Chains A and B, each alone.
Chain A
Amino acid sequence: MGFKNFEGADEEFNLEQMEAETEAMLRLRYLTGDNATFTRTAGGFVSLDIAKGENGEPEHYDRVRVVRSFPFTAPGTYISIRTTEEKSKEIGIIKDLAKDVSKETRKMLEEQMNLRYFTPVITKINDIKEEYGHAYFDVETTEGPCKFVIYMNSSSVVSLSDVRLMITDLDGNRFEIPDYTTLSAGELKKLDLFL
């Protein structure tokens, strides 16, 4: 049996509607304080109301996911507001948090992002010991003293810029050194293996 046999059976198949859906996927919608209202929810999330949505109808989202498009190089711009299901879809983009939304909204969204992008910043290196393919770190961070282990391979310590390092532990927990040149000579020596 070929597929051709079934072609007649589905008059309601609407190609135009499907094309419209595809087109919507290809469009970029910018959100600003004018067209979008964010509100804190009791459960620790942010909800979103768009007064005039795609079809002129108001849109409401119980909770949204706040995602940075450039988490390292431009954390405050191009913030993607997305739905929360597993295959999340974009609702819209905030071009610039500092300009496009109110201070209150900005704070609200930054709170969400700080949780999402939570990364302890290493302030002091007490010790780094290399043994048997692993490196053992003993550091002070903005989140308190931490002891963690990384694999000795190139993907564990990544340079995000000439001075900025991202360190990933065995479980995939991230730690950051924003500027390693500010570390003391002794600390740098311990870290030198990874530079």
Chain B
Amino acid sequence: MSKKDRKISEEPMQATGKLPKEIEIELRDRGLREEDVLVSVRTDMDLTCAFTPGWIVLTKTRLYTATADPLLGEVHYFKGMETRKTGKVAQDREWTFAEYDISDIKTAYVERSVSGGFLVIVHKDPNDEEAEGAAETVAAVSNRRMGSATKIERLCEKLADGSEIDEESLKDDEEEDYCPVCGTMYPNPDRKVCPKCMNKKSIFRRTLAYLKPYKYRIMVMFACYLATAALNIIWPYLNGVVLYRKVLGKDEKFLSFLSVDGNRYVVILLLLVVTMVMTKITMQLVGILQGVMTAKIVPRVVKTMRNDVFGAMGKLSINFFTSKQTGSLMTRVMSDSDEVSGFFIDGLPYFLINVFSIIAMAVVMFRLSVPLAIVALMFMPITFLVSWFMLPRLWHRYGRRHRATRSLNSKIHDNLSGARVVKAFGQESSEVGRFDKANEKVRSADLAVMNYDNKFSALYSAAENLASLMVYIVGAYLILIQKKFDFAVLITFAGYVGQMTGPMDFMSFFFRWFTNCMNSAQRLFEIIDAVPEIQEKENAVSLDTIEGTIEMKDVTFGYEKNKPVLKNISMKVEGGHMLGIVGRSGAGKTTIVNLISRLYDPQEGSVTLDGVNLKDLSFATLRGNVAMVSQETYMFMGTVAENIAYAKKDASRAEIIRAAVLASAHDFICRMPDGYDTIIGSSGRELSGGERQRISIARAILANPKILILDEATAAVDTETEQAIQQSINMLIKGRTTISIAHRLSTLRDADTLIVIDEGKIAEQGTHEELLAKKGVYYKLKELQTKALALKGIE
């Protein structure tokens, strides 16, 4: 229903300023007042999943949807492609409107599909206000607009509950996703780097900065390159013109120039030979000098780059490491620094020298003979084109072979690490079949490489040979028939033709090398520039002594923006008390712990320590007072003592032993032949799960934190070891605020408060007795673990 004939108001609605005019007018007609609008968000599908723009507008009393009728051939832009411009909806479209009464909505949820979702509202049962009635799909979105759907979902829930709506949940975060310069949407909003605006020029300049400390060495290198180029030009000249024409031809002018008379030309010949030998030797020496310079500069530049990247990585939030796409980025980064410095040290100067050589050679050739120079240079573009067109294709095939080999290797790895399973199920022969399939792919990729490589070499050398052949033919013609010049010039020419193909060849792949290098550099700077999500506030609060009272208020959090793991969690632990967290796996227990140690920040609500918001607290205060013993015990490469003293490097031996004794680790450590000096970690001695657990408890004891987090600390060990560890833990938790997560409820029997987490919400909260009296989830869990097992005679 478009109302084109209406007068468009001069002032756009404040909160709905982004809405297309047609929608604004229609909604006003439907009685919407701009000051009532809570949010207006975009959708990108109609209810049949056809891509088309749309909007959802929410007020405290009503929910409106507007969907444009799909246009044939309209381009749909997804994240990374969309710009502010393409995000605008074309005027004069037909719109379909719908509206819903909030007071009639019981709840709202997002029904997820494989690449999007549907916003569903559940009406109240007309007969019973409290019961759920009919459900209705009101909007559809692809994952591109999933944020819109979940935002409306959350707000509808809050409106239905009658709970307060804070500013944060109304915040419009869309705008921040666009690059302020060119208006393109960032491919990854977590790392606000616009690929378009981070142009090659600035990357180039920044990379050059890494070379600055070595400018004198680089000047030496340049001198070497220049010398090589000059000698390259001189060599054919000595070899041809000077030898044949001037010396063997007894050129009077030349001889008198050297003030030698014509009869003693043997001396001259010797002189020439010596000169030629010296030239070759100088070329070699220059080559060696340049090699030494490269060897001195490259590793240092690479080292600086890697240090920068690693330093930047350390500052990044944990999210950066866990997200998949950066995982692969990391491994590439290390080789990227090689690529970048290699290009700047090897590629770039060589490029300049080549340009210089080609021009100089061309000038010399034209001075010697114009027609022959034309013939010789005529073939240069051909060889250049052959490389230009064929080399990328050749690399492409190499790339494919590389990928095939990699997949073969991973198959082998897969098979070896699963050897027990393969043997147990007797699948050796079928594994051979699977291997053969991957192997066959490598073979065909290999064949493709060789095929193309042969073609390339044949064509390239044909073009190259053709060039020198033509030079000889035309040269011979010019000498014999036209008598334009002598044999000496021809020899010089042949030398130049041979020398020119090298630089040409280089030029043809130089540009690709350049692009690759810029890509690598861009990846490096992306990490160096990335702004950590979790940052220490300027003038953050430092507390000298803390009590350890932790409180969470209305915390909502999800690792992915639109998938909340915790919903409106509120809880409090007094300093020195123990909180037990119970719940199914995946319920969000570990997530709570992650928020308390501020590995992540909550999206809504706050976490406070002694009344100070964690966001305002200095890292030193927080990290210095929190220690975690988790199920995943990580042992760094090093000795047992170093691992125990990980958080307190200056710990004395006595302290380390005391911590180990308290963690009941001292005995087994002393039983090892090297005692506390035993090397453990990835390449060292293998420790059992219980041993590792005890070392990590010792680590926590030595750190002496005010707040201790136990995340399934005893889940991976047998009952007997658990008993021993439990005793160490009991020692450890004295006088500390302890948050303990456990499957086995028996580990939580000393907790002052227990919370039961279910589907990201607190299902029950109270002391052990209170929860049992409630006969709810906790009761059921406890019964399952004690009585059911007891009945079967296990306990």
Contacts and interface: CB of A to CB of B under 8 A. Distances in A.
B114 A134 contact: no
B135 A41 contact: yes
Given A7-B787, A41-B134, A42-B136, A117 B114 contact: yes
B371 to A, nearest CB: 41
Nearest to A14: B783
A146 B76 contact: yes
B118 A115 contact: yes
Contacts of B76: 143-147
A136 interface: yes
A112 to B, nearest CB: 10
A155 B324 contact: yes
Q: Which of A115, A117, A195 has the most CB of B within 10 A?
A: A115
Interface in B64-82: 70, 72-81
B322 interface: no
Contacts of B370: none
A164 B497 CA distance: 50
B670 interface: no
A116 B788 contact: no
Contacts of B400: 192, 195
A133 B328 CA distance: 10
Contact of B783 (A13, A149, A154): A13
A93 B76 CA distance: 36
B749 A171 contact: no
A13 B787 contact: yes
Interface string B31-56: 00000000000000001111100000
B593 interface: no
Nearest to B791: A15
A143 B47 CA distance: 14
A44 interface: yes
Interface in B549-580: none
A185 interface: no
Interface in B486-500: none
A41 B133 CA distance: 12
Contact of A146 (B48, B78, B188): B78
Interface majority SS on B: helix, strand, loop or mixed?
mixed
Interface in A146-172: 146-149, 151, 153-155, 168-172
Contacts of A192: 396, 400
Contacts of B788: 15, 18
A9 interface: yes
B195 interface: yes
B75 A173 contact: no
Interface string B389-405: 00000001001100000
Nearest to A137: B81
A34 interface: no
B786 to A, nearest CB: 5
Nearest to A146: B76
A41 to B, nearest CB: 7
Contacts of A146: 51, 75-76, 78
Contacts of A71: 114
Contact of B116 (A15, A18, A44, A173): A173
B75 to A, nearest CB: 5
A18 B779 CA distance: 13
Nearest to A2: B749
A114 B113 CA distance: 10
Contacts of A86: 759
A170 B519 contact: no
B115 A134 contact: no
Interface in A95-145: 114-119, 131-134, 136, 143-145
Size range of the interface on B?
35 or more
Task: Output the residue of B78, B396, B519 with the most chain A CB within 10 A.
Answer: B78
B765 to A, nearest CB: 18
A23 to B, nearest CB: 14
Given A84-B111, A149-B187, A170 B116 contact: no
Contacts of A44: 47, 136-137
Nearest to B48: A115
A116 to B, nearest CB: 5
A170 B79 contact: yes
Interface stretch (B138-146, B237-245, B723-731): B138-146
A164 to B, nearest CB: 15
A15 B780 CA distance: 11
Contact of A149 (B47, B81, B143, B786): B81
B772 A149 contact: no
Interface in A168-185: 168-174
A14 to B, nearest CB: 10
Nearest to B562: A171
B693 interface: no
Contacts of B136: 42-44
B768 interface: yes
Contact of B81 (A132, A136, A168): A136
B523 A133 contact: yes
B441 to A, nearest CB: 11
B285 interface: no
Contacts of B140: 115
Interface of A: 1-4, 6-7, 9-10, 13, 15, 18, 41-45, 62-63, 65, 71, 84, 86-87, 114-119, 131-134, 136, 143-149, 151, 153-155, 168-174, 192-193, 195
5 contacts: A43-B135, A117-B113, A143-B49, A173-B116, A173-B144
| Nearest 10 CB-CB pairings of A with B | A149-B80, A43-B136, A148-B78, A171-B143, A147-B81, A44-B137, A174-B115, A118-B49, A173-B115, A170-B79
